[in-house]
Structure 1
Amino acid sequence: MSAEAVGRHMPAIITLDDLAAMISADTHGRRYETSPEGVLSVVPPPDSEHAVIATRLMLWLGLAGWPAEQLMQAAGIRISGPDGDGGRIPDLTVWSRPQQHAVWLAVTDLLLVIEIMSRGSEATDRVIKVDEYAAAGIPQYWTVARDPAQTVTLHSLELAGRYERAAQMPLAWLLQTSPGDHLPPV
C-alpha cells in the first residue's frame, strides 16, 4: 500500500486511542508514537542487539533491588504539551511506585526513561525526546548508542526544566556501578 493510500485513511488528528489501535493492528511489531504536536513516528521492531541491551539494563536494575512492578519495557507514556497529548513508548522505564494498568501512563511517578537508539530513531532520541521528556518533568533520561562501546548518555533534569548531560560512559562500565549511584534509592 502506498503512503498516499494510507494517508487517505488517516484521521486529521491522531488521538492516543487511534495510536493504540494502530499498534494493536500492526502484525509486524512496529512502534507507533506521536509527539504532543501530533507528529507521527513509525519505528521498525527492535532487533536482537536492542533486546539484549534492554535485558541487561533491566537485570542490572532488578539485581540492585528495583521491584519488577516498577520496571517496564515498552510501556506507553502520555506526554502532554500545549498542543495536546502525545504518546511515546520508551524502551525501558523506572517508576517510583507500581502503576495502574493502562495503555498510556501518566509521567507523574516516572523516574527514568531509557531509549536504545536504532537507525530509525537516533535523531528523535537525541534531540526531540530530550526536549519532550524534560518538558514533561521526567527526572532522568538515558540514551544508549549502538556504537561499539554502546555509549550511555545520562541526562538529569535541572531546575530550569532542561536536561543537563550528567555523564557519558560505555554500557559495560555503567553495569559495573550501582544504580544507586545514578538514581534515587528503591
Structure 2
Amino acid sequence: MTQVLPPLIGVRITGAQYEALPPNPRIELVDGVLTFMTPPTGRHQDLVDALVAVLRQVCPPELRVLREQELFLSDDHRRNPDVLVVRADAYDPDGYSYRPEQVMLAVEVVSPGTETADRKHKPAEYADAGVAHYWRVESKPALAVYTHQLVDDGPYVPTGRWVPGDLIAAPGLPWAHVAVEELASS
C-alpha cells in the first residue's frame, strides 16, 4: 500500500498533527519537525532480524522484543528504534508507541545516513528520557556491539564493546547473553 503524506517533511507540526498521520516507521518527529529516515540496507535488515530473533530466545517472559516501534520521548519528539525491549505488561498488540519508563532496552543498527544520529543524538535523547539501556550495533568496518547503561540521571556509561567470539554480558541485563557471532551469521 502506498501512503501519500501531506507536504509536511521539514515543517514544524504539533504532536496532535503527527498522531493524525498514518503510522510510518520511516518517519520520526524530531523537535516538532517530521524527518524521513533513510531506507534500511539489506545488511541493516539482516542484523535487525538476527537481533530480534536472539533477543526473543533469551528474553524472560516479563519482557517483549519489538522492532521499529515508536519511542515517545515527548509530545514533539518521537523516535523509532530498530529494536525495543519493553515490559510485557506495557505491550499492546494493537499499539505501536511506548514511553521511556516502559522500555528496558533500545537498540540502533548504524547504517549509511544514520551514523551521527545513532552514535550521538539518539543515545543522548534516550538517556535524557530515562531509557535504562542502549545498544549500538556497528557493521563496518567489522561487526561490533556497543552496550551502554544509564547511571543515575547522567548520560549513558559504556559497559562494553562486543565482537564475534564474545558473549554479550551487559550489566543490568542478566538475561541478555547474546553470542555476537549469531548476529554475524545473518
Flag whether TM exceeds 0.5 (same fold): yes
Q: Is the 8 A contact 1:90 1:113 kept in 2?
A: yes
Please give the secondary structure, in 1, of the residue aligned with 2:76.
strand
After superposing on structure 2, the runs of 4+ consecutive aligned residues of structure 1 that deviate more than 3 Å are 9-12, 65-69, 176-179
- Structure 1 stretches lacking a partner, 5+ long: 25-29
Residue 10 of structure 1: CA displacement? 7.0
Residue 68 of structure 1: CA displacement? 10
Q: Is the 8 A contact 1:22 1:32 kept in 2?
A: no
More helix by share: 1
| Greater Cα shift, 95-104 or 135-144 | 95-104
Structure 1 residue aligned with 2:35: 41
Residue 41 of structure 1: CA displacement? 2.6
Equivalent residues in 2 for 1:123-162, closer than 5 Å: 123-162=116-155
- Measured on the aligned residues, the alpha-carbon RMSD in Å equals 2.9
Q: Which amino acid aligns with 2:46?
A: V
TM-score of the pair, normalised by structure 2: 0.76
CA separation in 1, counterparts of 2:174 and 2:16? 31
Equivalent residues in 2 for 1:27-66, closer than 5 Å: 31-35=26-30, 37-66=31-60
Structure 1 residue aligned with 2:68: 74
User: Size of the alignment, in residue pairs?
Assistant: 169
Q: Is the 8 A contact 2:14 2:76 kept in 1?
A: no
Change (3 A) 1:113 1:12: closer
Residue identity (%): 26
Deviation track 1:34-86 (CA, whole Å, cap 9, x = no partner) reads 22x22433112212211111122122212224459700000111002xxx431
Structure 2 residue aligned with 1:87: 78
CA separation in 2, counterparts of 1:69 and 1:155? 19
Q: Is the 8 A contact 2:56 2:64 kept in 1?
A: no
